[in-house]
Structure 1
Amino acid sequence: MNKDLEYYLRLPYRVMIHPSPEGGYVAEVPDLPGCLTQGETLEELMEMVEDAKRCWIADALERNEEVPEPVDESYSGRILVRAPKSLHRILAEKAREEGVSLNQYIVYQLSRAVSKTSEIN
């Protein structure tokens, strides 16, 4: 199989999102060392992540360097969560304010909470 840029861009690379001290958000792709980007909104950040991955992978391919594939930890990435209607409404409204999907907003909030917990431990 020809492992070109499009091959790698279709792979499910994990993205970690953190709030930036200066405002906005920072995202990193742990499987692509040094692949970082930032954006003012979550919507902008997600666009910037795709651009950062594209640039990182294209650069590595151009230099004939190995491009790491995502680590498969056998997690589907799918979680079913039941929430009270009032919480669902609040989350949906916040996601709309940010201009992102409800799923992206929840992932961001969970990432933020986990990173804060990790800093304490």
Structure 2
Amino acid sequence: MRYQVRLKQSEEGYAVWCPGLPGCWSQGETEAEALENIKDAISAYLATVEELNKDTDARYVEVG
């Protein structure tokens, strides 16, 4: 899957977040490090959502 992310340079390095996943953000000293870190953050975010919803009646739909 591909997710759009946003980067912002700061005094500490780079902040990075995924607008499509509220609260999913990370950082890194370099742009490359921040982009690698957000991959881990997205994976953890999605795993947490899956865990929180595992006992609910849910359906999946294909988009695009």
| TM norm. shorter chain > 0.5 | yes
Partners of 1:23 and 1:34 in 2: how far apart?
20
Q: Going by fraction, where is helix more abundant, 1 or 2?
A: 1
Q: Which has the higher contact order (CA 8 A, sep 6+)?
A: 1
In the other structure, the counterpart of 1:32 is 21
Partners of 1:29 and 1:36 in 2: how far apart?
6
Deviation at 1:46, TM superposition (A): 1.2
Partners of 2:34 and 2:13 in 1: how far apart?
9
Partners of 2:6 and 2:34 in 1: how far apart?
11
Identity fraction in percent:
39
TM-score of the aligned structures, taking structure 2 as reference length: 0.77
Partners of 1:51 and 1:28 in 2: how far apart?
12
Q: Aligned letter for 1:13?
A: Y
Deviation at 1:23, TM superposition (A): 1.8
In the other structure, the counterpart of 1:12 is 2
Describe the SS at the equivalent of 1:47: helix
Matches within 5 A, 1:1-121: 11-20=1-10, 22-64=11-53
Partners of 2:24 and 2:38 in 1: how far apart?
9
Tell me how many residue pairs correspond in the alignment.
56
Q: Which runs of 5+ in 2 are unaligned?
A: 59-63
Q: Going by fraction, where is strand more abundant, 1 or 2?
A: 2
Q: Aligned letter for 2:7?
A: I
